[in-house]
Structure formats: structure tokens, C-alpha cells
Chain A
């Protein structure tokens, strides 16, 4: 089972966010300057947590909370 806080921590570290910025409601596209960084983040989360995501599964992902739920539900 993947700890949701570990995923949040990884997202915050990867995106170099200040503490408290990786809250559930934060919109991912607002946290990055270009969308390619999100592609890199998705690959990083897969490598880190040993899961496989798909574009289909990410279609509804808009916020940090959505991404954490998607990652933890893949375990």
C-alpha cells in the first residue's frame, strides 16, 4: 500500500514546491510553468512507487489530490 503523504512529498520535492503548496486542491497546471514537467512527474512517480499509470487513467486528474488518489489506487 502506498502512503498518500509519501506521494504528496514526492510531488512537492519534484516540483520544488514550498511547504504547504502541495495541498489536495492545488491545480497541477498552476504549479508548473510548462505541461512537459507534468509528463516528467508522472514518469517519476511510476519509477518511485513501482506502479504503471496510463493516459486514460490520468484524463480526469486535475489537482494534486486527484493525482495522489490515482497513484495510491494503483498499488
Chain B
């Protein structure tokens, strides 16, 4: 069985991947056909798969996912405002994906990581690199329509909102992560 803090964190990741899948699935259904629709559909598929990886990982560790009623993304609209077009959605996505990969890298660096968690993080982080890549490329492709400077300012605004959400939402997450680190270090000392 895994520690309560680890179970909560893995369940939080699972919940966030589910939120991402639902969001990108809805968008893939709505945006017009073209390269962005194509990559959004793949992104939707990846996020669904990631939710499955976390579910499987938690089960392999002898637990069951906790049903959490909020995810990181839920706070985004409140902080950044309702995005009005596909460029603004992609700007938020880029900032969010960078946050996710940073968070997963931080988790991966924890001492005494169970091999199941390590393998899941490694698998997901490969996909996350592609997510950042395709969203970046899509934003470049929108420069002629929205303007390079305007896109850069939008990303900047989203990054500021992200910092606000991170501070607010991840208080509990960070607390649990720190507790987990302390617990692992104590175990190593013994």
C-alpha cells in the first residue's frame, strides 16, 4: 500500500489528466478541420491515456484512486478569464503543459520513488514534450492572424495567471509533496 500523501498526489494527477482529456476532446469536436484539430485530437487521446496510466499505477501500488472534486485546470478560467479564441486557448495550454512537465520532473526527482511511479512519470513526460512542441508550432502558425507580439503578451498574461493558480491551488499539493519527501528521507536515514 502507498502512503496517503502519495495516493492523494497520484489521484490529483489522474484527475487533472481526466480534466485535460475532457477539455481537449470538447475542443477537438468544435474547432474547424485542419492541423490544429488534428493535433488537439491526439492531445485528447494522450490525456485520456495518461489518466489510465495513473489509474493502473495506483492499482499496481495496491490502492484505488481517490475521487477528487477539483483539478488544477478548474482554477484557470477564474484566474486568466474566459479565453475568447483558439490562440488564447493554446497560450493557456502551453503555460499549463510547462507547469505539468515541471511538476512531474519535480516528482521524479523524489528520493525512493516506487518503480511504478517512476515508469509512469517517464512515459507521460515523453508525451508532454510533444504537447509543448505542437502547441508552440500552432501558436507560430497563428502569428499571421493574431500578431507575434500579441501572442507573446497573451502567453505572458497566462503565465501570470498560472503563477497565481499554482500558489493558490497547489498549497495542499506542495504540503503533501514536502511531507512525502520528509518521510522518504527519514526512511533512508534508518
Query: In the complex, which of the residues A40, A55, A56, A58 contacts B26, with contact meaning CB atoms closer than 8 Å?
Result: A40
Query: In the complex, which of the residues B27, B30, B77, B85 contacts A53, with contact meaning CB atoms closer than 8 Å?
Result: B85
State how many angstroms separate the Cβ of B151 from the closest Cβ of chain A. Answer: 12
Query: In the complex, which of the residues B19, B30, B73 contacts A43, with contact meaning CB atoms closer than 8 Å?
Result: B30
A44 contacts B by Cβ under 8 Å = yes
A58/B81 in contact, CB under 8 A: yes
A53/B32 in contact, CB under 8 A: no
Query: In the complex, which of the residues B19, B27, B30, B80 contacts A55, with contact meaning CB atoms closer than 8 Å?
Result: B80
Interface size on A, residues (CB 8 A): 21
Query: In the complex, which of the residues A34, A47, A55 contacts B81, with contact meaning CB atoms closer than 8 Å?
Result: A55
Residues of B within 8 A of A53 (CB): 84-85
Query: In the complex, which of the residues A35, A44, A55 contacts B84, with contact meaning CB atoms closer than 8 Å?
Result: A55
A36/B77 in contact, CB under 8 A: yes
B83/A55 in contact, CB under 8 A: yes
Residues of A within 8 A of B29 (CB): 40
Residues of B within 8 A of A34 (CB): 74
Q: How far is the CA of A40 from the CA of B27 in the complex (A)?
A: 6
Main secondary structure of the interface of B (DSSP, over half): helix
Q: Which residues of chain A from 1 to 59 have a CB within 8 Å of any chain B CB?
A: 34-40, 42-44, 46-47, 52-59
B106 contacts A by Cβ under 8 Å = no
State how many angstroms separate the Cβ of B51 from the closest Cβ of chain A. Answer: 16
Convert A49-73 into 0s and 1s, putting 1 for each residue whose CB lies closer than 8 angstroms to a CB of B. 0001111111101000000000000
Q: Which residues of chain B from 74 to 91 have a CB within 8 Å of any chain A CB?
A: 74, 77-78, 80-86, 88-89
Query: In the complex, which of the residues A39, A47, A52 contacts B83, with contact meaning CB atoms closer than 8 Å?
Result: A39
Q: In the complex, given contacts A36-B77, A55-B84, what are 8 additional A-B residue pairs having Cβ atoms less than 8 angstroms apart? A: A34-B74, A35-B74, A42-B82, A42-B84, A43-B27, A44-B30, A53-B85, A56-B84
